[in-house]
Amino acid sequence: MELSKNKCIKNEDGEVKTTINSSLLSRLLGRDLSINCLIRCSRFDYATLALLNRSFRSLIKSGLLYRLRRKASIIKHWIYYSYNPLEWEAFDPNGCHWMRLPMMPSNECFMCSDKESLAVGTELLVFGRDILSPIIYKYNILTNIWSSSMTMNTHRCLFASASLREIAIIAGGCDPLGNILDSAEVYNSETGRFENLPSMNKARKMCSGFFMDGKFYVIGGVDQDMMQLACGEEFDPLTRTWRVISNMFPRKIDELVNGTSHATMAPPLVAVVNNILYAADYEEQVVKRYDKEQNSWLNIGGLPERVAAINGWGLAFKACGDILIFIGGVHGRMIEVYSCIPDEEGSLQWNLLASRQSGNFVYNCTVMGC
């Protein structure tokens, strides 16, 4: 029997190569076992697998494989970052693969507007402003296409956001007239809809959001008087209530750099690994760990020394599963990606994971786990 259309693919760790035949796989293994094998392949290879036959292509584009991966806890985290207003790249820290996304639709107004990004489910959302109104561009990894057909219930920018599996929560920010908001809403990538949530206790913009222990948090930001807010807020999805947490900001307000306007400082750089909150203090060049019981911060190590920033802008500090990722630019139009795994004591040892000639400023960055 002739074995045609053989393909070589890597496993999730990139170590073992297996030659498979698209016309025989389903008959030899059966559909269920074939799918069970596919969900364990690296999703970097899904584009190649989609070329093997219509059945594979249909499975991948339907999103079924990603839903089954999530159900089986086979989740890998990719970093999506923008190094100029319309260009995005994806980086797989597991196999150190890079992938360039299609160019975003060009619009001068959108290019110059404040932009936020968010990854939820299998979608990358980029929030900005078109000529006439706010706009959301959506990149779907299933189709490799950008689209712009959705809107929030309240148009906003400079907001806090975070995702948990197929849902994301967006809170605060400011509206097109500059009014600072206390409102919040939840987005479900399965339905493609935004739903209003109860409002926060404090209106704030230029804040950061994250999930920890199944709850959503907002910290940092400035109020209507452009004063830095020291308190944070916790949202419980079960009770749909907000709780103010005093003095949750990673630094004391009176320790902020003299002569630096609160409105020009970047939102706090925060990441959650194994339900432990970390913050990257770009002024002190240290990483801090949050003590939930004491509501306090402890210095646990330094940041990579080569990267530079302007009041915290141009950097990214993210969690990829149980790994902390720090991304920054260096001279020579270079982006460097560092990683570390916090130990039980919380000490850090940064390793240079990858570098890329793609500009030296991170405009937006988010992490997709699927």
Each residue's pLDDT tens digit, 125-177: 999 988 878 899 999 999 899 999 889 999 999 999 999 999 999 999 999 89
- Counting the structural domains of the chain, the total is 3
Q: Is the model more confident about 275 or about 260?
A: 275
Within a domain: residue 261?
yes
Q: Is 328 within 8 Å of 312 (Cβ atoms)?
A: no
Q: Do residue 244 and residue 113 come from a single domain?
A: yes
Q: What is the structure's pLDDT at 310? A: 74
Q: Do residue 57 and residue 150 come from a single domain?
A: no
Q: Do residue 90 and residue 123 come from a single domain?
A: no
CA 49 to mean position of chain CA atoms: 26
Measured distance CA(94)–CA(323) in Å, rounded: 10
Within a domain: residue 158?
yes
Confidence category of residue 22, pLDDT binned at 50, 70, 90: very low
Within a domain: residue 130?
yes
Which of 71, 90, 118 is at the close of a domain? 71
Q: Do residue 280 and residue 202 come from a single domain?
A: no
Q: What is the structure's pLDDT at 131? A: 81
Q: Where is average pLDDT lowest: 39-48, 279-288, 314-323?
A: 39-48
Q: Do residue 119 and residue 176 come from a single domain?
A: yes
- Domain span including residue 314: 77-100+268-370
Nearest Cα to Cα of residue 212 among 169, 156, 149: 169
Residue range 164-191: mean pLDDT, rounded: 96
Who's near 30: CB < 8 A, 6+ residues apart?
A: none
pLDDT exceeds cutoff 80 at 189: yes
Residue range 102-126: mean pLDDT, rounded: 91
Q: Do residue 255 and residue 117 come from a single domain?
A: yes
Q: Do residue 196 and residue 118 come from a single domain?
A: yes
Within a domain: residue 289?
yes
Antiparallel, parallel or unpaired: β 160-164 and 134-140: unpaired
Within a domain: residue 367?
yes
First to last CA, the chain: 37
Which of 245, 265, 285 is at the close of a domain? 265
Q: Do residue 221 and residue 293 come from a single domain?
A: no
Q: Is the model more confident about 12 or about 87?
A: 87
Q: If DSSP states are collapsed to H, E and C, what string results for the chain?
A: CCCCCEEEEEECCCCCEEEEEHHHHHHHHCHHHHHHHHCCECHHHHHHHCCCCHHHHHHHHHCHHHHHHHHCCCCCEEEEEEEECCEEEEEECCCCEEEECCCCCCCHHHHHCCCEEEEECCEEEEEEECCCCEEEEEEECCCCEEEEEECCCCCCECCEEEEECCEEEEECCECCCCCECCCEEEEECCCCEEEEECCCCCCCEEEEEEEECCEEEEEEEECCCCCECCCEEEEECCCCEEEEECCCCCCCHHHCCCCCCHHHCCCCEEEEECCEEEEEECCCCEEEEEECCCCEEEEEEECCCCCECECCEECEEEEECCEEEEEEEECCCEEEEEEECCCCCCCCCCEEEEEECCCCCECEEEEEEC
Q: Is the pTM of this model over 0.85?
A: yes
Which amino acid, residue 343?
Answer: D
Within a domain: residue 1?
no
Q: Do residue 211 and residue 358 come from a single domain?
A: no
Within a domain: residue 197?
yes
Task: Using alpha carbons, list the distances in angstroms from residue 117 to 24, 135, 162, 341, 364.
Answer: 42, 12, 10, 25, 6
Q: Which two tokens stand for residue 173?
A: 């920010």
Of 20-34, 120-134, 231-245, highest mean pLDDT: 231-245
Q: Do residue 24 and residue 145 come from a single domain?
A: no
Percent of the chain at pLDDT > 90 equals 57
Q: Do residue 310 and residue 351 come from a single domain?
A: yes
Q: Could you give the count of Cα atoms lying within 13 Å of 105 in the half-sphere of its Cβ?
A: 18
CATH number at residue 134: 2.120.10.80
Within a domain: residue 65?
yes
Q: Which two tokens stand for residue 169?
A: 């929560």
Q: Do residue 195 and residue 344 come from a single domain?
A: no
Question: At which residue do the structure tokens 């689209």 appear?
Answer: 147
Q: What is the structure's pLDDT at 157? A: 94
